[in-house]
Amino acid sequence: MSGSLVTKNGKHLVNKISDYQFQIYKEDSRGMNVPVTIFANDLLISKMALDRTLDQAVNVTTLPGVKKHVVVLPDGHEGYGFPVGGVAASDLEEGIISPGGVGYDINCGVRLIRTNLLESDIHSKLKILVDSLFSSIPTGVGSEGAIKLTSSELDDLLIDGAKWSVENGYGIDTDLESCEENGKMKGADPINISTNARKRGSMQLGSLGSGNHFLEIQKVDKIYDEEAANTMGIRKEGEIQILIHCGSRGFGHQVCSDYLRLSEQAMKKYNLNVVDRELACVPNTSVEGESYRKSMFSALNFAWANRQMLTHWTRKTFQRVLQLSEQDLGMELVYDVSHNIAKVERHRVDGEGSRDLVVHRKGATRAFPPGMEQLPVKFRSVGQPVIIPGSMGTASWILLGSPKSMDLSFGSTAHGAGRTMSRSEAKRTHTLDDVKKKLESRGIYVKSLTKNGLIEESPDAYKDVDMVADVSHKVGIATKVVRLVPLGVIKG
């Protein structure tokens, strides 16, 4: 592609800046406060132009207090209000906070667990491992977790996050050091969490859920950066790694729903008008903004506690099936990153110097470079691990945060492959046997609660994750470290 293309509704020209960067220039007549920057190649951006991805990004530029630019990452696709794979930063004092800019699955995220195992160590017991994990970890829409919490226990968990899980016997202290925000977002306060959200949360802790959430047994396919891989405890090709991808379940969904309604009502109070009702927002410093932030932070903590419990049961399953000790297995948490989040960070804005901004990452991963105090000590010399899960049956990637990300993308990169096919289209296109045969032909054993859960997540329903990682690498916002491929998968 050269020159420009037009977005779906025909309103906006997309200008090609380089092979991997595109821009929609700021147009005052359309109410744009800043331009849109898209990191993609020709194929990926042509797919974005087929749905509302780019038009939604332009809509986000019209929100009050948005700074520098709105970013669309290479996995970008249409979402609710904000595009998935989108990043926007608003002024802390004069800007807004938007539930749609975080998303329904608050702190949908992913964690990587390394092991001392090689593929040859588990080959004969792979199916038993997958079946045992499926039995140990509740999956599926509305699935109930293994633990039921009292109201006071839920409050404690919402304040302490993964720390609550570890203190209650579901993990070890070093796990907390390997989580974004140490698995506990300070400032969480469940005081305004609705009864419906509490009910859903108290029943679903310790469950994987459905959709694109999964637990995968993977192996190292190729190492691109040996120094960074060694820092992460990954030594050679063929090593077994575990990837857990899930979020805040129905609890986070209800928090988002509650505050979307509240924001819609409150906009009149603050004389806020948006070009799309899905962009409902409130001033960041308002009573409603503060209430949403405290509740959203509580949902972040729920998700970290949830992933921590799944990690504990995964370790116990491996010990039981393989009859190996914790020390022999060496199942250490490499890192846990959030995908759907909004928090205050300091970034440089052209002509304004460094300032505090509310960074919304909607289907985007933080990708901080070396030297940042927010990173665990062991990663400060190399940069933050970035984990990009592929779609079921395809590769996943470990990248490394780069200094360029701070200037180009508010310290962010892609969060996954990004859908190109709706779930209903996937069901029309594929059969259960078709999907299973394709996975089996690649040597992948899958266990799913429902046939739709498998069909809807067919690998070709997503973009090419290798291409997404390649764009991130070539732009320089996060660089390649390790490519992983799946051996066994459990899904809802």
213: annotated binding-site residue?
Answer: yes
Residue whose token pair is 């469950």: 207
- Is there a binding annotation on residue 418? yes
Q: CA–CA separation, 341 vs 467, rounded Å? A: 25
Report d(CA 363, CA 84) in Å as an integer. 5
Structural tokens at position 208: 């994987």
Tell me if 389 is assigned to a ligand binding site. yes
Query: Which token pair is 143?
Result: 């699935």
Tokens representing residue 400 in the block: 């490394």
Dig out the tokens for 464 from the structure. Answer: 């090419």
| 8 Å CB contact between 242 and 218 | yes
Residue in the structure block whose two tokens are 């070009």: 275
Retrieve residue 296's tokens. Answer: 């959203």
- Identify how many contiguous H helices and E strands the chain contains and give both numbers: 17, 20
Residue 405 structure tokens: 């990300």
Cα–Cα distance measured from residue 428 to residue 431, given in angstroms and rounded to the nearest whole number: 8
Is 212 annotated to bind ligand? Answer: yes
415 in active site: yes
| 347 appears as a binding residue in the annotation | no
339 is in an annotated binding site: yes
Helix (H, G, I), strand (E, B) or coil at 127: helix
185 is in an annotated binding site: no
457 is annotated as contributing to ligand binding? no
Taking each helix axis as running N to C, give the angle between helix 249-269 and helix 287-322, from 0 to 180 degrees, rounded to the nearest 10: 170
Task: Please check if 163 is assigned to a binding site.
Answer: no
Q: State how far the alpha carbon of 39 is from the alpha carbons of 22, 112, 219, 285, 467, in Å.
A: 6, 25, 29, 31, 12
Is 168 known as a binding-site position? no
Reading phi first (left if > 0) and then psi (alpha if -120 to 50, else beta), residue 187 is in left
Contact 42, 1 (CB under 8 A): yes
Of 101, 76, 420, the closest CA to residue 278 belongs to 101
214 is in an annotated binding site: yes
- State which amino acid sits at residue 367: A
Alpha carbons 17 and 10: distance in angstroms, whole number: 20
390 belongs to an annotated ligand binding site: yes
Residue 69 labelled as part of a binding site: no
Under 8 Å between Cβ of 192 and 437 = no
> Among 211, 208, 209, 221, which residue's Cα sits nearest to residue 487?
221
DSSP characters over 177-189: HTBGGGG--TT--
- Amino acid at residue number 444: I
What is the gyration radius of the CA atoms in the chain, in angstroms?
21
Is 42 one of the annotated binding-site residues? no
Active-site option among 360, 415, 430, 473: 415
190 known member of a binding site? no
Annotated binding site for GMP, which residues?
212-216, 339-340, 389-392, 396, 415-418, 491
Residue ranges of the annotated binding site for Mn(2+) are 105, 213, 245, 339
List active site positions: 415
